[in-house]
A and B are shown apart, each in its own frame.
Chain A
Amino acid sequence: MLLVNIFNFIKGYVVILVEGYYLERFLNICSRRQIYLWDVKKLSKCTMRLKISINGFRLLRPIAYKTKCRVKILTKRGLPFVVYRYRKRKTFIVGILLFCALLWYMTSFIWVIEITGNENISTEEIMENLEQCGLKVGTYKAGLDTDNIQNEMMLRLNRLSWIGLDVKGTKVNVEIKERRLAPPIFENHIPCNIIASKDGVIKEMVVKNGQPAVKEGDTVTKGQLLISGVLDSKVEGVRYVHSLGSVKARTWYEKSKEMKLIKTNRIPTGREIKKYSVTILGQKINLYINSGIPYEDYDKITYNNELSFGKDYIIPITIHQEQYKEIVIEKEKIPVEQAVEEGTRLLQDEFAKEAAADIEILNQNVEHIFVDENTVVVKYTVECMEEIGVQEQIME
């Protein structure tokens, strides 16, 4: 019924009062002549109120005459009458047109560039390159050649393996796949040394090619020569070879972290205030007068809402909501064991992230030292076994 009502409103209708003795006949003739009537309500013996479309009303005069009924208009409703009422208000119409035009104009630019899929290439770098290719925030949409930009981007950044541009409304989704660059491996004929990548004590050494410069049990420092690619013999003179081999060493890592024994809990009191501001084309306008915050301790949360039509037509107007939540800071003392445990866990995670994949942990140790009564330093030492040899080209 709602849909019918909306349709009727758009088409426009009249509420009329019909007076007469042959109301039934009136209804029958109307229905036979395909005039649509609705909400027919009998008010008294010889009056009824009903709704009729504008076109239907124009056909009513002969029927009223025929049935000797008198027809009176009560109200006119619907869009045609509204339009008629405002027909002389030119600025109003101009305003509507201007609004539509502005909306159309605003949505014909790119307002948002979203980059996904980049891991090592920074978003700024991609943005910079896109700008040089002719795509930036504010670019006119019609002149955008995405294929061309894609090709140019591929030429500019050799770390890209694929780039896809997808214009959706006022938004461009840039999808990126990065090329994984292989670690430099020197080909067999290029002479090279093997040097230590870390400090350690050599545990195991397998030399396939080249001259060993150290032996098992030696302590080496980072950058020290392990296997030399320079062979010097009395018979053949100096030769340069591509050294090859594996050097495993015991290495030590030490990490420490300061842990506080007092934990501060931020408990919200439930009281909060909200402040709004609007950014239109880079200009921020505050929608509040009093800038003070009545709380001693508070958390500030900022929400930025970009105005958009649907998901893709974004308009360069942002509404900022700043929420200030009052909090009470409570201090809690935590036992030393718990702090040390927590610290150890954090340090272990940190180590696991940094260490090479093929590392073998032999020993690990945790110590803690009090700095003052509220601070403790957790020291985490690990003894590992790992490959430390890396190739380095010999420069002649």
Chain B
Amino acid sequence: MRRKRKHTDDTKEKISIKEKITKALELPEEIVMDVPKLQFIGNKDLSIENYKGIIEYSEETIRINTNTHLIRITGHKLEIKTITAEEVFISGDIAKLEFTA
């Protein structure tokens, strides 16, 4: 029990060091930390960089897998404008965006 607790503390510290370094050196976080970069233009256009894959795709919901979270986008007339290995560009009436682990 004790050992396990110590382990979690350790990982926590490790992440924070990595975070601290990135923040201190002002490195682009989405590359170093491997987190997705989301960019909204109003509620119509959304670009997601550094994603892993599409899990679900319909006109009402799109679910996208990334390294840290699962992103769920809900709305109307959703459409994938472009899709490349690095970026997916979604357009439509976006109503909601959720992050789940």
Contacts and interface: CB of A to CB of B under 8 A. Distances in A.
A233 interface: no
A27 B80 contact: yes
Contact of B79 (A23, A31, A39): A39
Nearest to A33: B85
Interface string B50-79: 000111111100000000000000000011
A197 B81 CA distance: 90
A41 B79 contact: yes
Nearest to A39: B81
Interface string A28-61: 1011101011111110010010100000000000
A125 interface: no
B83 A38 contact: yes
B57 to A, nearest CB: 5
Task: Classify chain B: how many residues form its interface, as a range.
Answer: 10 to 19
A24 interface: yes
Interface in A264-306: none
A42 B59 contact: yes
A45 B83 contact: no
B8 interface: no
B84 interface: yes
Nearest to A28: B53
A99 to B, nearest CB: 37
Interface of B: 53-59, 78-85, 88
Interface of A: 23-24, 27-28, 30-32, 34, 36-42, 45, 48, 50
19 contacts: A23-B57, A24-B54, A27-B80, A28-B54, A31-B83, A31-B84, A34-B85, A36-B82, A36-B84, A37-B80, A37-B82, A38-B83, A39-B79, A40-B57, A40-B79, A41-B79, A42-B59, A42-B79, A48-B57
